[in-house]
Amino acid sequence: INHSDCYLDDSASRRKLFLFFYLTIIITAIPSNAFSLYVSWQHIRQKNELGVYLFNLALSDLTFTVGLSLWLDFLWRGIWAHGGYVCVLSVYFLFTNFYTSDALLCCIAVDRYLAVAHPLKYTSLRKVGTAAAVSVAIWVLVICFNATTITWKDTYQENNTFSVCFDIFLPLSENLARANVVRFFLGFIVPVVLVVFSSWGICLAVKSNQATEEQERKRIWKLLTVVLLCLLFCFGPIHVMMLLRTLVDDCRTAAWLLYPYKISIAISSLNCLADPLLYCFITRTGQANVNQVVLFLQGKKRSK
């Protein structure tokens, strides 16, 4: 393989489109997730285990959004100017957000399933301490997995004229191909199956329990719908592209996959905006806090 053929000229106009897209995400995601941290902290203070998962989701999204700012400079210049260590770290942030987010979304779906289908049976699993321990375990497992699968060789390439971070379209190394297959099944298929199972279980439980209020049913359905859509829409395309890349062994096909792959990464970053919907507009505490903010702003406007 002539590796020089694998480097692609990225047109400035296309780069600028991605630049404005990511800039919009950063501007929107930082305040919305900062607010979500506050909302989820209210849940934790009320001894609600859901708040622990929501807090960690917001933390993951904020960490990713801060790392995303480095990509703006990359898109503006067309070359990576921060060196290999920073490149590897930024990719680390990206994948850490992917897998902490979808693991925590699974935890939220399973937690709601246990709360609705088995309200008295698994109370020990629905405590703040248990949720905190599960969240720490998720962070540790994801960080360890990324440490063994994200390498300098697969992440950063440099030659005499330019350097590239992550947008490397060489045929994959054996290590990265294996990692992508594991990511597809453990990072996408397993979470989707768990969320579908939890949703189905809740559906059966709610139908058989007439005591559940209509408003509460709607809230549960909204929550699970956002979780499932977030997994399928935000994480589905990127994992399909990862799997396709494991089948590619020539530069021409790799080049053809470049923009679908870039678009799938852009779509995956939308999960930073989807997650705040879970706490701000679906949970009771979130709705109450949003209403408080709206009333406060309306009061300010009237006083002016």
Residue 270 sits in a domain of what CATH number? 1.20.1070.10
The residue with tokens 């503006």 is 76
pLDDT at residue number 6:
58
Residues near 117 by Cβ (< 8 Å), separated by ≥ 6? 201, 202, 204, 205
Looking at the domain assignment, is residue 224 inside a domain?
A: yes
8 Å CB contact between 51 and 283 = no
Looking at the domain assignment, is residue 298 inside a domain?
A: no
Q: How confident is the model at residue 12 (pLDDT cuts 50, 70, 90)?
A: low
Q: How confident is the model at residue 160 (pLDDT cuts 50, 70, 90)?
A: low
What's the chain's Rg over C-alpha atoms? 21
Q: What is the pTM of this model?
A: 0.83
Looking at the domain assignment, is residue 1 inside a domain?
A: no
Looking at the domain assignment, is residue 5 inside a domain?
A: no
Query: What whole-number distance in Å separates Cα of residue 172 and Cα of residue 20?
Result: 29
Number of domains comprising the chain: 1
Query: What whole-number distance in Å separates Cα of residue 12 and Cα of residue 266?
Result: 17
Element (H, E) at 163: strand 163-165
Q: Which amino acid is residue 212, in one-letter code?
A: T
Looking at the domain assignment, is residue 297 inside a domain?
A: no
Parallel, antiparallel, or unpaired: how do β-strands 156-158 and 163-165 relate?
antiparallel
Average pLDDT on 133-148 reads: 94
Looking at the domain assignment, is residue 303 inside a domain?
A: no
- Most confident of the ranges 70-74, 79-83, 102-106, 246-250: 102-106
Q: Can you give the residue range of the structural domain that contains 203?
A: 12-291
